[in-house]
Amino acid sequence: MRHVASLGLAGTAFPAALWAVAQEQGRITKATIQCAEGIAGLEFSDAERELMLEGVNANLEAFERLRSVSIPNAVPPALQFEPVLPGSQPQLVRRRSRRSRPTTVRPLNLEDLAFRSIPELAELLRTRQVTSEELTRMYLDRLRRHGAALEAFITITEDLAISQARRADAEIAAGHYRGPLHGIPWGAKDLLAEDQYRTTWGAKTYEDQVIPYDATVVQRLEEAGAVLIAKLTLGALAWGDVWFGGRTRNPWNTEQGSSGSSAGSASATVAGLVGFSIGSETLGSIVSPATRCGATGLRPTFGRVSRHGAMALSWSMDKLGPICRSVEDCALVFEAIHGADGEDPTARTLPFAWDSALGVGELRLGYYRSAFESEQATDFDRAGLAALRELGVPLIPIEMPDQFPVDAIRFILNVEAAAAFDELTRSNRDDLLVRQIERAWPNVFRQSRLIPAVEYVQANRMRTMLMGAVEAAMDGVDVFITPSYGGNVLLTTNLTGHPAVTVPNGFQEDGTPVSISFIGRLFGEAELLAAARAFQDATGFHLERPPAFLPAETPPA
């Protein structure tokens, strides 16, 4: 047991002899309080410390009683984050659902389908030119062939996949077509529970963990007829691209990691190993690997998608979303998974319909002006803004609020993560995690034990003010375009719960992709996706394929 952490004194210059006395007596003294004051940036008088003693020792006893109760990772705190401020409600337009229906024929080489969009695959399956079992076996073969190069999957779910594919084929043949995901193989970030297979969270500590139920997202995709073929890698406990079996790679340059934490989801999708995937984001875990790998990623509004059955990292910031090859693919997956389920208390059901005919002329588009004008903006960023301008729609300059020290409250995430993995820290099993460096969870969990509860509450109060300021900044627009890491937009919008779509925006001299992002209003995914789709159709960067993973040539007849 790490009693140093429980007393709030780890990392201080606490005299060894004094600490030994405190341990032996099992009580906190005025001297220990004085040492702890420095951690919180406070200073009390000796008389004040004397008055504090009885209560502080009572707290310590309460901590020990609290720790005698096992609290599973899936249990949320009684306090909930709500992205919609009191007195306001999302102003949503109810739209008609319309998706693309491309005309497509079966290729001579089935592997040519590895990079096709969901609408193309859906039409081939609906018209029975291709069976789900054929498609599933093709993707399973690619997973095995390219697994060593990318280290992008943890478990191949072949028995389940073949069973689901055969069921899809039988249903489609019988005229029971469930929709555009019916029969399409997909991969789950391995923080989503599936009761027939292990769910490792990417961490050695949980390598053999089996959760005896399916995550809501897994259930909903099964109901849509999709075929789960793999549990994909994530950085251990959703940070980075290093997991217990290696480091997931960027398909455009396998000397690079794929970034994280939705490492395998982005890598496998871009390499054509799955039809689509599900990732998660707390602070950049969809945006970052989508950027590195050239994927299209949707981070929905906080509360749009149930997190039941997903590993909890930060109850007030975690979000699940699709990582795909195109914006329309993301829209079709999101349409299947959004809404409340009665399990995740933060999940809400609000209208969403993908309208592929919605044009940017019907939207109010903005751009984050100072981010595009800053020294950090790249030629790619400016070219992306120019491409949006060329669509002929006026762009409205906006600014993200700068009156708050946003970086100063990012520890909200760290505090919640430390609570989610409290037992891991206290048991010393965090030593089993592969990454044992300053910027990795074991160290951050320990540091976060020393953040005062009062500062956590104060940070969340400032967060409420930030939410109001962002809503005011976006008052005149439906969507705005921004460099993906412009200013504090990534941290700010993850704290406020706003949705984002990240899309490819060109390629650097070394052949690796870059991205640009679109930010929407709360629960405004329909408009957000429409704007990103218009940009994507105009630029076509999402159609590029990593050369090392192209299908083998069609054998001669």
In the three-class reduction of DSSP (H, G, I as helix; E, B as strand; rest coil), residue 436 is classed as: coil
Active site residue 319: no
Selected catalytic residue, list 285, 316, 326, 448: 285
Q: Look-up: residue for tokens 């002899």?
A: 17
Report d(CA 455, CA 52) in Å as an integer: 19
- Write down the number of H helices and E strands in the chain: 19, 15
Report d(CA 110, CA 104) in Å as an integer: 13
Q: Judge contact between 84 and 522, C-beta under 8 A.
A: yes
Active site residue 316: no
User: Any residues with CB less than 8 A from the CB of 482 and at least 6 apart, and which?
Assistant: 367, 368, 371, 372, 489, 516, 517, 518, 519
Report d(CA 326, CA 181) in Å as an integer: 14
Selected catalytic residue, list 189, 259, 262, 517: 189
In the three-class reduction of DSSP (H, G, I as helix; E, B as strand; rest coil), residue 84 is classed as: coil
Report d(CA 393, CA 364) in Å as an integer: 8
In terms of DSSP bridges, do strands 365-368 and 479-482 run parallel, antiparallel, or are they unpaired? parallel
Report d(CA 242, CA 260) in Å as an integer: 8
Report d(CA 226, CA 213) in Å as an integer: 18
Long-range contacts of 57-60 (CB under 8 A, 24+ apart): 57/27, 57/28, 60/6, 60/7, 60/27, 60/28
Active site residue 285: yes
Minimal CA–CA distance to 425: which of 448, 447, 442?
442
- The beta strands (E) that lie in 237-344 are given as 242-243, 246-247, 249-250, 253-257, 276-281, 296-299, 319-324
Selected catalytic residue, list 261, 262, 267, 326: 261
User: Any residues with CB less than 8 A from the CB of 415 and at least 6 apart, and which?
Assistant: 448, 451, 456
Report d(CA 200, CA 208) in Å as an integer: 7
Among all residues, which ones are annotated catalytic? Answer: 189, 261, 285
